[in-house]
Amino acid sequence: MSLRTVLDGPNTRGTSDRFWAAFGLAVVALLGYPLVASTYAVANAALFLLYAILGLSLCVIWGYCGILSFGQVAFFGIGGYTFGIVGINLSTTTGTALGLLTGVGVATLFAFVLGYFMFYGGVRDVYVTIMTLVVALVVHTFMGQTAGSEWAIGEAALGGFDGMTNIPNLMLGGIELIDTAFYYVVLLVLLGTYLGLRALVNSDFGRAMVAVREDEERTELLGYDTKRIKLLVFTLGGALAGLSGVLYASWGNYMNPAVFGITFAALPVVWVSVGGRDSLLGAIGATYAIEWFSQQLSITGSEYALVVVGGLLLVTILWLPKGVAPAVADWLSEKQSSPSIRGHEEVAD
Amino acid sequence: MNNLFSTGRSSTRRAFLAAGATGITATAGCTGSARQDADVVRIGVLEDRSGGFALNGTSKWQTSVLAIEELNEAGGILGKEIELFDPDPQSDNQRYQELTRRLIQREEVDALWAGYSSAARETIRPLINQYEQLYFYTTQYEGGVCDSTIFPVGATARQQLGAVVPHLIEEYGPRIYTIAADYNFGQISGDWVRILAEENGAEVIGEEFIPLDVSQFGSTINRIQEADPDFVMSMLVGQNHTSFYNQRASAGLDIPIGSSTTMAQGYEHRRLNPPALADMYVGVNYMEEVDTEASNAFVERFYDRWPDAPYLNQEAQNNYFSIHMYAEAAERAGTTDQEAVIEELEKGVEIEAPEGTIELDGDTHHMNHHMRIGHADSNHDLSFGNEQYIGAGFLQEVGCSLPDDPETTQYLPAEVYDL
Amino acid sequence: MIYDTLNLLFQFLDSFAFIVLATVGLAVIFGMMGIINLAHGEFILVGAYGTTLSYGAGLPLALAMGVGVLATTVFGLVLERTVMRRLYHRPLDSMVATWGLSLVTVQLARIGFGNTLSQVGTPLGSISYGAFSYSAYRVVLAGIAVAVLVSLYWLFMYTEFGTQARATMEDEPTARSMGVDTGRIYLGTFGLGSALAGLTGALYAPTITMTPELGASFLVEAFVTVVVGGSSVLVGTSLAGGFLGVVNATFTNLAGTFIGQVAMLLAAILAIRLLPEGITGLIDSWRAKRAEGGQ
């Protein structure tokens, strides 16, 4: 199959027929989920799936290009807020579509400017990590004090610490995307993102990305413009995070500055390192599994919920330094001496 | 009582069984529901028991459990047992959204109590509006919410500041310096101080809004000393800001302070070493130190149920009386159907709360409260004075009349007053 | 006029002390061992709680602070033996692991000690000048911050441990082959970093609110300063602390707390952009140039 030659390659683990069969089954299961589950469960699953896009945005820049951004949530939040501003002012089908485009656009532009500033300024490694975190925190501080009426854009008040309310739902062909319809849109976007990223990382450009991750100086000596590669990948990551943020704003009809805070900023890093940073599917599975699990713990109301979440992180990093998905893949390939499926957490609910 | 899995059902035996069943697998497994079961009244309570607001949220949750247990012992509501759903939102706004959705869509609660901060309230308001969920918000807050299914039963900034600002002007003089948390609550409270100052012939000579994550107040203290006001109005919020009072005492800033946020919520007078709060005046509708028969009996019941609780705060009292008030309205309506209960509440309900007998104003969904001025001396001993019965005047001024004119708005003082 | 200058000076001392003390424990652990300790705030928490609880149990304040430091050191040493040693040279993993550790510590502190502790009052009274007064204790803190930097300089430059630690940081295999017990050096360095974080907690315990989240209020300043400072613990921390302290104090004084904070963060971003290797990098290249010029 010609499609397989685009999607398979050395930079993704699942490449066997067996993998693709299992993948197909998982997709069918996810497509069928709304038929058997309650509206609540579907809407809830949509949230985890849209978080997974945020997870993927970090996975591609960190896992495949070696740039750990601790500030993906900044692009997520900017995307969501921009969608809110446009959507509140023009709450029509075209309005929300325009909101989607500007939301992703502004997040992308922001990532591009920040990336240019950093990579062409020689900021590297852990300094990139902390710089991105500081940027998120600056936005957090700024957005927290936008409560007054002077901070309104048209009809849309930024709302300070209390956040922006009345954000409309995304609309498509005159239909408001809520509950099941929203779930399907998120699922398709996630699927498209995943397959697109697979194609990207297995392309020539993808190989150059991985080369930058492995040894930036050597890659540069081989004649690649590593700054440009990093900037492009970082910008792509920003765009995906922005897309995820737009979906988030439409999901809850609400944005607030907590999305720029350190607690939320840590989440994508956690998802990706637990899933396995060079495994796209691992990131998706881990995002879903971790979010679902910590939600369940908070539902129990147990005071040990955060202890368990924190403890699990610690243990995973100590025992499975490469993450769950690579470990599962290794285990399977040892067992069957052929690489196969991994990360089936996403069909567990 | 074992507090490890806090379920808060009425009988200890059931609580124990439920604790066993609250494991992850149990919750994960049952996607089906017992919603058909109309023999119970379903109440949802989302109060923070971990994270930054746990200090304020925990006792709100505890009095909610207490109120529900009392009601169940007396035969429930309409002869039905009350079932409580009380996940822990962990002071996390995103968690609030997820859990509210769950309580509304999946547990189909008949009434919901949720949230300490205004941000938590705003986070879940889209869902409340979309599903027309009967919702009680019990924290003292900036005021102005006029929303068909929401009952903000805590005291508003106008009620609290209206009690304390005129008194301090009379006592100490007309020059006021305002420091407040730099977000909606603080800014609106700052506006109210200015409005009240003008109404009472006083003047705000300085105003500073401080981000919530600031915990170092050296320069703020300098600026207050430079302006040398007759008194300071402090609407600081949260644990970082609480550091101000210690730093103020150690810097020797001994200007009296008026407030709507200290002591009654975070019991700073118990936690901080005297004289950090010397000459602090706070407008409250309740504190556990209020010495009336009803209050003392309530305090005793509370500590019988929760012997290890550190404090019973103003908001906890609000949860307590509003759950009883809900029960009363449902009994009168003869059903827990939300629309019918709201209609009944809108007729106005009088309830004997620990703070005194108070009425719900049906038009605005707000309470008339007994407002008192609590004063802490240099040993942090409290006295109360100037008790006044104050209603939700601002919303009446702007013409909020929910039974005739349903809406989902929040009015701001800046829209009405010339600031 | 003179009072305004004094205000600014005190404000600077205050910011400087806070930034340096918030950072120094993190800087030792990051600079020497490459571990990004997101649980740094929780080390400070242990110090603060240790101090407050033992003061509450009747110890005099100075002694209670000693207990706080000791408790944090032990806490750090135990963690080094059980968790941290698996994370050396895995800076990014260390970030996730310590984030988990931070969640656990905060919540266990809440379960163990409740949502708050009864507070220690600030000692030493105030200094008055004109219409103003300033907490004397906060001036002392600035003195301690300088003293800590000086002692660290002495420790790293003039003691056996310091020489071995610097050698280990520079080139671990060589240091080991020269007979340095690098495992012990790591343990000692981590213990030192923990003790310093504990000291910060102990010193600030009488000024901040005792809640399980108190560590978070130190985290931003600490990370920003470490990055602006660059890899050299002492030079970096003191210069970055001075620079950010000046920016923070000036803007806070001129335009209020919010602007002060934003100005400091923006200054940090600019500094990282202009000096990607931190202030240390600037000094290194300046030294290198001078050395070249001298030849």
Q: Residue A307 has what pLDDT?
A: 84
C126 or A262, greater pLDDT: A262
Q: Residue A347 has what pLDDT?
A: 34
Judged by CB atoms closer than 8 Å, whether chains meet at B208 and C256 is answered as yes
* CA distance to partner chain B, nearest, from residue A191 (Å): 23
CB A240 within 8 Å of CB A53:
yes
Average pLDDT over residues A207-214: 91
pLDDT in tens, A243-282: 999 999 999 889 989 899 888 888 898 889 888 888 899 9
Judged by CB atoms closer than 8 Å, whether chains meet at C91 and A137 is answered as no
C135 close to B (CB below 8 A): yes
- Residue B381 DSSP code: -
Instruction: Name which of B102-106, B201-205, B299-303, C127-131 the model is least confident about.
Output: C127-131
* CA distance to partner chain B, nearest, from residue A273 (Å): 22
The fold for domain A14-347 equals ABC transporter involved in vitamin B12 uptake, BtuC (1.10.3470)
Average pLDDT over residues B260-268: 89
3-state secondary structure of C189: helix
Q: Residue C210 has what pLDDT?
A: 86
Which residues does chain A have within 8 Å of residue B184's beta carbon, measured at their own beta carbons?
A: 147, 159-162
Which residues does chain B have within 8 Å of residue C124's beta carbon, measured at their own beta carbons?
A: 250
Q: How many structural domains are present in chain B? A: 2
Judged by CB atoms closer than 8 Å, whether chains meet at B182 and A303 is answered as no
Q: Residue B27 has what pLDDT?
A: 36
Strand partners, B372: B284
3-state secondary structure of A62: helix
C200 close to B (CB below 8 A): no
C265 or B22, greater pLDDT: C265
Q: Which residue of C has its CA nearest to A315?
A: C97
Q: Residue B25 has what pLDDT?
A: 34
Q: Which residues contact C122 (CB under 8 A, 6 or more apart)?
A: B246, B247, B249, B250, C135, C137, C206, C207
Judged by CB atoms closer than 8 Å, whether chains meet at B246 and C131 is answered as no
**What is the 3-class SS of B280-313, one letter each residue?**
EEEEECCCCCCCCHHHHHHHHHHHHHCCCCCCCC
Percentage of residues of chain B with pLDDT beyond 90: 53
In a domain, B25, yes or no: no
Q: Which residue of A has its CA nearest to B44?
A: A299
Average pLDDT over residues C120-124: 78
Is a pLDDT exceeding 70 seen at residue C81?
yes
Judged by CB atoms closer than 8 Å, whether chains meet at C227 and A127 is answered as yes
In a domain, B404, yes or no: no
Question: What pLDDT band is residue A17 in, cutting at 50, 70 and 90?
Answer: confident
Question: What pLDDT band is residue A336 in, cutting at 50, 70 and 90?
Answer: low
Q: Residue B133 has what pLDDT?
A: 95
B307 close to C (CB below 8 A): no
In a domain, B372, yes or no: no
- What is the strand order of the sheet B350-353 is part of? B350-353, B356-361, B366-367
Name chain C's partners: 3 or more CB pairs within 8 A: A, B
Polymer length in residues for chain C:
295
Nearest by CB to C209, which of B216, B228, B243?
A: B243
Distance (Å, whole) CA A221 – CA B178: 61
Which residues does chain C have within 8 Å of residue A126's beta carbon, measured at their own beta carbons?
A: 36, 91-92, 227
In a domain, B228, yes or no: yes
* CA distance to partner chain A, nearest, from residue C166 (Å): 21
Q: Which residues contact C105 (CB under 8 A, 6 or more apart)?
A: A310, C39, C42, C45, C46
Mark whether B147 and B215 lie in a shared domain. Answer: no
Which residues does chain A have within 8 Å of residue B99's beta carbon, measured at their own beta carbons?
A: 298-299
Q: Residue B155 has what pLDDT?
A: 92
Nearest by CB to C217, which of B54, B218, B240?
A: B240
Average pLDDT over residues C102-118: 85
Nearest by CB to A135, which of C97, C269, C278?
A: C269
Helices A179-201 + A17-36 axis angle, to 10: 170
Is a pLDDT exceeding 80 seen at residue C280?
no
Mark whether B90 and B161 lie in a shared domain. Answer: no
Tell me which of B240, B256, B284 is where a domain ends: B284
Average pLDDT over residues B82-93: 90
A with C: how many residue pairs have Cβ under 8 Å apart?
Answer: 115
C153 close to A (CB below 8 A): no
* CA distance to partner chain A, nearest, from residue C123 (Å): 32
Mark whether B166 and B277 lie in a shared domain. Answer: yes
In a domain, B403, yes or no: no
In a domain, B389, yes or no: no
Percentage of residues of chain B with pLDDT beyond 70: 91
Name chain B's partners: 3 or more CB pairs within 8 A: A, C
Q: Which residue of C has its CA nearest to B251?
A: C135
Strand partners, B82: B41
Going by C-alpha positions, the residue among A43, A48, A63 that lies closest to residue A347 is A48
Question: What pLDDT band is residue C231 in, cutting at 50, 70 and 90?
Answer: low
Tell me which of B325, B343, B367 is where a domain ends: B367
Q: Residue B37 has what pLDDT?
A: 53
C260 close to B (CB below 8 A): yes
Mark whether B218 and B231 lie in a shared domain. Answer: yes
Best to test chain B binding among A150, A161, A250 (most B CBs inside 10 Å): A161
C142 close to B (CB below 8 A): no
Instruction: Name which of A140-154, A261-275, B125-139 the model is least confident about.
Output: A140-154
Domain that holds residue B96: 33-155+292-367
CATH number (domain holding residue B139): 3.40.50.2300
Mark whether B219 and B279 lie in a shared domain. Answer: yes
Q: Helix, strand, coil: what percent of chain B each, to 5?
A: 40, 20, 40
3-state secondary structure of B350: strand
Mark whether B258 and B206 lie in a shared domain. Answer: yes
Tell me which of B344, B367, B390 is where a domain ends: B367
Which residues does chain C have within 8 Å of residue A273's beta carbon, measured at their own beta carbons?
A: 92-93, 96
Mark whether B245 and B352 lie in a shared domain. Answer: no
Judged by CB atoms closer than 8 Å, whether chains meet at A317 and C96 is answered as yes
Q: Residue A342 has what pLDDT?
A: 43
Average pLDDT over residues A284-288: 92
Measured CA distances, B201 to A52, B197, C134 (Å): 58, 6, 32
Instruction: Name which of A2-6, B241-245, B343-347, C193-197 the model is least confident about.
Output: A2-6
